[in-house]
Structure 1
Amino acid sequence: MADPTFDPRPAAPGDDSARPAPAAVPPRPAAPTPRLLGWEVACVLALSLGAAAVSSMISFAGLLTAPESLPDQTASLIGSRAAEERPWLDLSRQLFSLAFALAPVLLVVHLLHRSRESAATIGFDVRRPGRDLGSGAALAALIGLGGLAVYLVSWRLGLTVTVAPSALNEHWWQLPVLVLQAVKNGVLEEVIVVGYLMLRLRQLGWSPVSAVLASSLLRATYHLYQGVGMFFGNLVMGLVFCWFYQRYGRVMPLVVAHALIDIVAFVGSVYLIGRVDWLPSPG
């Protein structure tokens, strides 16, 4: 059926009534105000590592009030999510947890784009793979060896719980899941706690020293469930990582370093805990 509003006659010169109106161009979003940035940071942390810090403090209170000493208590970092005879259910839950644990990172990248920035603003990209891998490996060696020393000494002094990096049941997918967990930790923590948080704190007018201390203290707090020794160990790690980020402006080497540290810890625990005398073993 013909459109009754259609007029086949050509429009007269200068007559714009028959021409369609140009589509309206949506305005670009305005730059966020300090108030909005503050609420944004609070929401991101509440959905991610800020909540982990509160949970860790509650767990630490439980450690201190337990009848056992700290070394006699165990903190399992990665555990099975189904009975050993149901490996596919366990694997499904592991992969589900991994995928949705990274949702705050996607939110951060989205928020950066909305504020006319991007992941590249904090150096979360693959423009320099060789240099990022090299510097990340060097940081991993420095922090990893230092962290192991802090853990062993603080455990001997009764300041740290016995950490069991992996309590997964033995299945063919055990090691791949541990590697994925390590990569997830590196991406989640370094993108949010270093790259995003330090960028936003500086935009809110915080001094460089204040931003470094806030980021490092947050990192230490959400590791407090492992004991006092690991609180201070992660505080030092945070200070080193923040210094590196302020100097080079790239978070990707920190992601690499953190992932490598956790891969060695998770996979190494499978083969070493209970087989060597110098490494604490859960009772």
Structure 2
Amino acid sequence: MTSLARDWLRPDRPERPEPVLEDDERRRIRIEIWIVFGITLGLSGARSLVSLIDSLVRPEPLSRQHVALNAPQAAADLLDLLAQLLSALQLLGWGALGGYLLVRAGIRLTSVGLGWRRRDVLWGVGLTALIGIPGLALYFAAWKLGFNLAVQPSTLDDTWWRPVALVLSAFGNAFAEEMLVIGYMLTRLRQLSFRENSGLLAAAVLRGSYHLYQGFGGFVGNVVMGLVFGRVWQKTNRLWPLIVAHTLLDVCSFVGYSLLKGHLSFLP
């Protein structure tokens, strides 16, 4: 194994944040992690598991069942817009919670990669291509093989505000997931003396868990995405490229689907 490969597969733990040694503080961090994810993405993971089980016990095969990522939430047009904006605001709040708790613990947000650099956009575009094309192929393969539901990225009506709502939803998802699962969780696990690979695997499985409602393909694809994104963060300590890439992936999926649906026969 070359030194470069070893460096990526078995990275050394950084000096900061320093491990927490006091028992009471370690216990407080563990409780905090359970609370944070018990009301955010961990709870979403539990609900996704229930949703997958419900799909599996239905008489229709998974590939003939549909799930919408962005669906109408109200009958009246303006009320639906307000509901969509509130959903995006909730996601931003989840991400902000993770950042706030790190700051309260004496950890600067710049130390987890939230200091903006112009090249973060280029890195984000590169990650989008790295994850997006194989991820799309994996989804279609899993769907055709019967391991995944037919995912409809958007079923919103054709309104003037649909693109705005979908872009905000994409950014909200990206900020919440990358801030909580990468910036917050991996930092906290480092404080609890988790090895880099152990923390990476835990974060990746968590990311996959709240996509279980899509089927097994959604779980596997997001675990792989979590492994890639988590390792990039561990090696570069840059969070914005992940947020940029995740936002672009979701924008292409949400907005692209809403524009192409009805024009491409293979889309669900």
TM-score, with length taken from structure 1 = 0.84
Q: Quick one: which amino acid aligns to residue 55 of structure 2? A: L
2:238 — aligned with what? 250
- Give the gaps of 5 or more residues in structure 2: 1-21
2:82 — aligned with what? 92
Q: Quick one: which amino acid aligns to residue 202 of structure 1? A: R
Residue from 64, 88, 105 that aligns with 2:56: 64
CA distances 1:145-194 after superposition (whole Å, capped 9, x unpaired)? 11100011111111110000001111100011000000001100001011
Q: Is the 8 A contact 1:119 1:125 kept in 2?
A: yes
Alignment of 1:169-184 (within 5 A): 169-184=157-172
Shift of 1:107: 1.7
CA distances 1:177-228 after superposition (whole Å, capped 9, x unpaired)? 0000000011000010111100101110111110000000001111111011
Residue from 250, 257, 262 that aligns with 1:262: 250
Q: Is the 8 A contact 2:69 2:154 kept in 1?
A: yes
- Give the gaps of 5 or more residues in structure 1: 1-30
1:35 — aligned with what? 27
Q: Quick one: which amino acid aligns to residue 253 of structure 1? A: P
Q: Quick one: which amino acid aligns to residue 204 of structure 2? A: S
Alignment of 1:7-18 (within 5 A): none
Q: Distance in 2 between matches of 1:106 and 1:153?
A: 36
Residue from 134, 137, 148 that aligns with 2:136: 148
* Local SS of the residue matching 2:152: strand
Shift of 1:101: 2.6
CA distances 1:83-124 after superposition (whole Å, capped 9, x unpaired)? 2xx211111111122212322222222211111112212112
* Local SS of the residue matching 1:79: coil
2:36 — aligned with what? 44
Q: Quick one: which amino acid aligns to residue 39 of structure 2? A: L
1:107 — aligned with what? 97
Structure number, greater radius of gyration = 1
Q: Distance in 1 between matches of 2:148 and 2:95?
A: 30
Q: Quick one: which amino acid aligns to residue 117 of structure 1? A: I
2:7 — aligned with what? none
* Local SS of the residue matching 1:217: helix
Q: Distance in 2 between matches of 1:151 and 1:105?
A: 27
Q: Distance in 2 between matches of 1:114 and 1:270?
A: 41
Percent identity of equivalent pairs: 41
Q: Quick one: which amino acid aligns to residue 165 of structure 1? A: P
* Local SS of the residue matching 2:154: strand
1:206 — aligned with what? 194
Q: Distance in 2 between matches of 1:181 and 1:224?
A: 19
2:106 — aligned with what? 116
Q: Quick one: which amino acid aligns to residue 96 of structure 2? A: L
Which structure's residues are more often helix, by fraction?
2
Residue from 227, 247, 254 that aligns with 1:239: 227
Structure with the bigger RCO (C-alpha within 8 Å, sep 6+) is 2
Q: Is the 8 A contact 1:64 1:70 kept in 2?
A: yes
Q: Quick one: which amino acid aligns to residue 61 of structure 1? A: I
Q: Distance in 2 between matches of 1:61 and 1:68?
A: 13
Please identify runs of 4+ aligned residues in structure 1 that moved more than 4 A.
Answer: none
Q: Distance in 1 between matches of 2:259 and 2:97?
A: 37
* Local SS of the residue matching 1:67: coil
2:71 — aligned with what? 79
Aligned pair count reads 246
* Local SS of the residue matching 2:253: helix
Shift of 1:276: 1.0
What do you get for the CA RMSD once the two structures are aligned? 1.2
TM-score, with length taken from structure 2 = 0.89
Q: Quick one: which amino acid aligns to residue 104 of structure 1? A: W
Q: Distance in 2 between matches of 1:48 and 1:192?
A: 9
